[in-house]
């Protein structure tokens, strides 16, 4: 596990964007795994800037996203489909036909989980998966629990996640209670994992993920078992790591 400590969010974003851009330059037809939330916004902004300067070409890139809220249509500004278009897909020369997310409007949880997992299998191994870390240690929407979920599944979001994400919605009541998420097993299949973490609020979750026992009660702790993990975190997020 490599850990890059950065001064702040901006430096974290630039460092992680450098790693993603190196991946795309070295392998233009990369399969990238993407995340949403506030952690990767700066990374996407930086990638867009480099694209506009002519330094990056996304035309051959394929992307798969970690997760999507169940029950939110694509046009809903809080859907992860909308987020990805807003921050990245509509701003670079990616072929949107090659961008994939779980279908939040498929109400048949089992069918959607199988469809997405099969789709991922058909695309092959993800070259680089970008991840954020939840305050409760979740990765994707794999919430703390008694088991590591293997494959894509429908998740009942924890109260703490609904609380953390309500900032994007009019009220906590508007936050969907369920989401589709790649499983821990799905995430671990990626060749490389790149985790961006910022702020003191994540310090405990990051410490437990990096230094604590590997347990499904801290889903991020599974990162310790992957052979190629890069964590890019700012000083505040790393403040509890000895
Ligand atoms: C989002 C995702 C989540 C977030 C996590 C942190 O696609 O998979 O695991 O990465 O909830 O969210 P932020 O970055 O908003 O603190």
Overall pTM surpassing 0.90 (yes/no): yes
Q: Are residues 221 and 212 in contact, defined by beta-carbon separation less than 8 angstroms?
A: yes
Within 13 A of 230's CA, how many CA atoms are on the CB side? 16
Asked which of 3-7, 108-112, 166-170, 183-187 is least confident by mean pLDDT, the reply is 166-170
The percent of residues in the chain predicted with pLDDT above 90, rounded, is 95
Which amino acid residue places its CA nearest to atom 1 of ligand 1? 36
Q: What pLDDT, in 10s, does the model give residues 96-119?
A: 999 999 999 999 999 999 999 999
**The domain 2-124+134-179+190-197+206-232 is classified under which CATH number: 3.90.78.10, 3.40.640.10, 1.10.3080.10, 3.40.50.1360?**
3.40.50.1360
For the ranges 6-15, 171-180, 225-234, the lowest mean pLDDT is seen at: 171-180
Average pLDDT, the chain: 97
User: CA-to-CA distance for 231 and 227, rounded, in angstroms?
Assistant: 13
DSSP state of 212: S
- What is the pLDDT, as a whole number, of residue 32? 99
Ligand 1 atom nearest residue 39's Cα: 14
User: How far is 7 from 12, CA to CA, in rounded Å?
Assistant: 8
Are 6 and 236 within 8 A, CB to CB?
no
Q: Where are the domains of the chain?
A: 2-124+134-179+190-197+206-232
The pLDDT value given to residue 152 = 98
Among 81, 131, 138, 134, residue whose Cα is nearest residue 104: 81
Structure tokens at 119: 């789709």
The interface predicted TM-score of the complex, written ipTM, equals 0.99
- Helices within the chain (DSSP H only): 9-26, 41-52, 80-84, 109-123, 159-165, 184-188, 203-211
Q: Tell the residue nearest (CA) to atom 4 of ligand 1.
A: 132
Just list the catalytic residues: 67, 136, 138, 143
Nearest CA to ligand 1 atom 6: 134
pLDDT value, residue 105: 97
- Chain centroid to Cα 70, Å, comes to 16
Q: Which atom of ligand 1 is nearest to the CA of 181?
A: 8
> Taking the CB of residue 63, how many other CB atoms lie within 10 A of it?
22
- The pLDDT of 198-219, averaged and rounded, is 98
């Amino acid at each position: 596990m490599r850990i890059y400590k950065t001064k702040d969010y901006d430096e974290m974003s630039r460092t992680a964007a450098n790693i993603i851009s190196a991946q795309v330059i070295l392998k233009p037809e990369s399969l990238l795994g993407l995340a949403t939330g506030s952690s990767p916004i700066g990374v996407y902004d930086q990638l867009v800037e480099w694209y506009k300067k002519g330094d990056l070409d996304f035309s051959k890139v394929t992307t798969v996203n970690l997760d999507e809220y169940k029950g939110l249509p694509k046009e809903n500004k809080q859907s992860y489909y909308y987020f990805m278009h807003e921050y990245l897909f509509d701003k670079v020369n990616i072929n949107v036909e090659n961008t994939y997310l779980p279908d939040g409007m498929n109400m048949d949880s089992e069918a959607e989980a199988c469809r997405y997992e099969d789709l991922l299998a058909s695309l092959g191994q993800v070259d680089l998966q970008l991840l954020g870390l939840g305050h409760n240690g979740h990765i994707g929407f794999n919430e703390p629990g008694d088991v590591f979920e293997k494959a894509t599944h429908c998740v009942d979001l924890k109260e703490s996640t609904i609380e953390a994400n309500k900032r994007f919605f009019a009220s906590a009541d508007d936050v969907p209670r369920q989401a589709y998420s790649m499983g821990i097993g799905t995430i671990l299949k990626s060749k490389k994992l790149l985790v961006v973490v910022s702020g003191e609020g994540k310090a405990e979750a990051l410490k437990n993920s990096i230094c604590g026992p590997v347990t499904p009660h801290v889903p991020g702790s599974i990162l310790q078992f992957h052979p190629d993990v890069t964590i890019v975190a700012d000083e505040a997020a790393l403040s509890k790591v000895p």
